[in-house]
Amino acid sequence: MKIILATSVALLFCLSAKGQIRVYTERASDESINIFCENTTDCVYTIVFDFDTLQNLSSDSVGVQVIKPGIVKLAQLTKLQAGEPDKLSFRHQFWLGDYSQSPDSEFVYLLPYPEGVKAKAQDIRNIDLDDLYQEKTIRFVFEEEVAVCAPRAGKVVGITSATPCEHGLCLQEVNSIDILHGDGAITTLKMIKDGSVKVNLGQEVLAGQVVALSEPIVNGSGYQVCMHVKHLIQSPYPHSRLTYAYLWPVFLSATAVMPIEEEGPHESVHPESVILSNK
């Protein structure tokens, strides 16, 4: 009897404090095959799972599944003709977050810098707020170096350091921190000072907590930090694929509770009641 199995392991770098996600197969005594996913991280992911080859086997698999920490059975494959060879191969892709969650679009975020500090909001004029899939990044600019603060409580699930290109002529990435919130929204803070990160992967942070320092602007005109908020969804087109949609967050400032529509300056406030209730 010929058996061909495809086993795949995904190691997730810079997405979780510790652990990995592993997909593996087990053959049962009745010749059925079980496919499992082991998530040893402390985060929730969504997996898109597809079969490339399924010969002499039938599957009860669901193509998109939420993978919480622990072991989840992805599929059970039943032998169609006993004693005959079977063949199996599959592919998968992981996404940070739970695609079935619906973040609160009216949740109030703190401005990502200390109380009393003022910043101008730039690069907001060309953002199409009706386009769910356009990255909606706000760039906050300061006259002096300031601390970068978590705009909302959550778990640090990503820390990325800039990687110089050959001869140091460009950067392939920017320094960034990703924070996962309880409703599935993910805040990314980027353009932060090299080596200034003050939190660890997997760490729970409070709203207003200092996580890094602002990055100097290349031309010497000040300092900056950028921010965007996204969440995982299953889009209707094409082919019901998973993708990230972007929110235009509501911010609390010294003068208003509203989305940022003007350059400002915008002064940050950190009321204790908001920090303690901000999830």
Confidence grade of residue 200 (pLDDT, cut at 50, 70, 90) = very high
Q: CA of 2: how far to CAs of 36, 84, 188, in Å?
A: 22, 8, 48
Of the three residues 96, 131, 165, the one that is the final residue of a domain is: 96
44 and 75 together in one domain: yes
pLDDT score recorded for residue 10: 36
138 and 261 together in one domain: yes
What average pLDDT does the structure give for the chain? 83
Cβ–Cβ under 8 Å, residues 184 and 103: yes
Of the three residues 96, 117, 150, the one that is the final residue of a domain is: 96
166 and 224 together in one domain: yes
Sign of the torsion angle spanned by Cα atoms 93, 94, 100, 105: negative
24 and 155 together in one domain: no
Q: Considering its fold, how many domains does the chain have in total? A: 2
Of the three residues 28, 62, 96, the one that is the final residue of a domain is: 96
Q: Is the residue at 103 inside a domain? A: no
Strand arrangement, sheet containing 86-96: 3-4, 86-96, 45-55, 64-67
Least confident of 79-83, 103-107, 136-140, 167-171: 167-171
83 and 112 together in one domain: no
259 and 123 together in one domain: yes
Q: φ and ψ at 40, to 5 degrees?
A: -95, 10
Range of the domain at 202: 108-277
**Cβ contacts of 272 within 8 Å, gap of 6 or more:** none
Question: What is the tens place of the pLDDT at every residue in 9-57?
Answer: 333 333 444 568 899 999 998 889 999 999 998 888 999 888 899 999 9
Sign of the torsion angle spanned by Cα atoms 130, 131, 132, 138: negative
Q: CA of 180: how far to CAs of 1, 24, 197, in Å?
A: 47, 27, 17
Strand partners, 88: 54
49 and 186 together in one domain: no
pLDDT score recorded for residue 3: 38
Question: What is the tens place of the pLDDT at every residue in 149-184?
Answer: 999 999 999 898 765 544 444 444 678 999 999 899
Confidence grade of residue 130 (pLDDT, cut at 50, 70, 90) = confident
Q: Is the residue at 102 inside a domain? A: no
Q: Is the residue at 101 inside a domain? A: no
Predicted confidence (pLDDT) at residue 242 exceeds the cutoff of 80: yes
C-alpha–C-alpha distance, residues 32 and 75, integer Å: 10
